[in-house]
Amino acid sequence: MDNKTKSNFLKLPIAILITQVLYVIVSLLLLFVLFKHLNVGSVSHTGIHLFITIFIAVMIIGNIIWRLAIWRKHVITTVITIAITIIAYVVVAQLFVLGSAHNDYANYYKYIGCSELIGTTDSTVICNLQSGDTIKLDKIHNKWYSDSDIFKGWI
């Protein structure tokens, strides 16, 4: 085999092929970790399916952009694109968890880590955390927040 054949596999340079495989492996591992995080945050099944769809769309778009950048020999742009894509995965997952948690007191109760329900009204829930501390959850503008939430006073 000549050098050109050795450095290419399936008409792709070996370095790009290895980067592609690593990108897919890291993305799928991150999807698995974030999927487990979504289950802890009480995201609905519809929300999980939407998250996976958005995750895969971000993965494909990121893949297209970094592949175009590497094809044009912009290595720095490639690295930045991959980093931004990975950050986008985490941001999207966090938005799904927080959105689901604040929409329903049962989800927020689970998200905040309450272990024992002490009392509830239509707009207030009092519970004990696993640490033994008592916390109050309030419904403000149809969203649930704890007394310790910084944003409560801004709403």
pLDDT of residue 1: 46
Please give the Cα distance from 43 to 31 (Å, whole number): 15
101 and 143 Cβ atoms separated by less than 8 Å: no
Please report which confidence band the pLDDT of residue 99 belongs to, taking 50, 70 and 90 as the band edges: confident
State the virtual CA torsion across 69, 75, 81, 82 in degrees, nearest 10: 120
Q: What is the pTM of this model?
A: 0.63
Position with higher pLDDT, 65 vs 3 = 65
Count Cβ atoms below 10 Å from residue 26 Cβ, excluding itself.
Answer: 14
Backbone angles phi, psi at 60, to 5 degrees: -70, -45
pLDDT of residue 25: 92
Per-residue pLDDT tens over the stretch 14-38:
877 888 888 889 889 988 888 777 7
What does the pLDDT average to over 37-43?
Answer: 64
The mean of the pLDDT values for the chain is 79
Work out the angle between the directed axes of helices 75-103 and 14-40 (0-180°, nearest 10). 10
Above pLDDT 70, what percent of the chain?
Answer: 84
